[in-house]
Amino acid sequence: MTGNIGAEIHSGDITHAPLSIERVRNLVSQVKAHTHTLTNEGVDGRELAQALAAIEAQIQNQDTSLLRLALKRLQEVIVKASGSLVAQGVLALLHQVLGTGVPKV
């Protein structure tokens, strides 16, 4: 995926399904690529790094319940900069990965 994070996500595409590890890996990759922008827009870089490390650890452990908790922690970290377009894209991807829907902005 290139361009904006979370581009072309439609709420109709979202279902409450098991976590897709590939989608989670894609999310982590995109967040890492935009870390500098996110930190410039108010996200705590240390908290972001810790949240991403926790997600990667749970991917390796293949524990989906702990992976969901780690993803929710990432959401808590990102929401601090929710006014930024990059943060909004990350939040949209998180909602898609977690199957919680994409909130209307």
Contacts by 76-81 with C-beta closer than 8 Å and gap 24+? Answer: 77/43, 77/44, 77/47, 77/48, 77/51, 78/31, 78/38, 78/43, 78/48, 80/42, 80/43, 80/44, 81/38, 81/41, 81/42, 81/43
Q: How confident is the model at residue 81 (pLDDT cuts 50, 70, 90)?
A: confident
7-42 per-position pLDDT tens digit = 554 444 444 457 889 999 999 999 999 999 899 888
pLDDT of residue 15: 44
Q: What share of the chain is helix, strand, coil (3-state, %, to 5)?
A: 70, 0, 30
41-59 per-position pLDDT tens digit = 889 999 999 999 999 999 9
More confident residue, 100 or 104: 100
For residues 88 and 90, what is the distance between their CA atoms, to the nearest angstrom?
5
pLDDT of residue 73: 94
More confident residue, 85 or 2: 85
Question: For the chain, how many residues are written?
Answer: 105
Task: Kindly report the pTM of this predicted structure.
Answer: 0.72
